[in-house]
Amino acid sequence: MKLKTSKSAAKRFKVTGTGKIMRRHSHARHILTKKPRKRVRKLVDTALVSKPDSKRVKKMLNI
């Protein structure tokens, strides 16, 4: 039987050309008015998934 990709993981993570996994920051959706502008700007950028977590994410993405 074929392994299926976790669709929830596929929507949340992107793989770079070098094989690293990118993610979005949390706390960037609502209640942004009370957060400093500097923090909100930093939340916009994507971040790398940590090495221990990337192993788990790759398993979910069947990489």
Residue 12 CB contacts under 8 Å (≥ 6 apart), including other chains: 23, 24
- Render pLDDT for 20-31 as a digit per residue (tens, 0 to 9): 999 999 999 999
Q: Which residue has the tokens 């008015």?
A: 33
| pLDDT digit string, tens, across residues 26-57 | 999 999 999 999 999 999 999 999 999 999 99
Domains: count for the chain: 1
Q: Which two tokens stand for residue 29?
A: 């959706």
Domain limits for position 27: 7-61
- Threshold 0.85, pTM exceeds: no
| Cβ contact 4:61 at 8 Å | no
Query: Residue 19's domain is classified under what CATH number?
Result: 4.10.410.60
CA distance 55 to 45: 22
Query: How many Cα atoms sit within 13 Å of 18 on the Cβ side?
Result: 3
Q: Is residue 1 part of a domain?
A: no
2 lies in some domain: no
Distance CA 15, CA 62 (A): 12
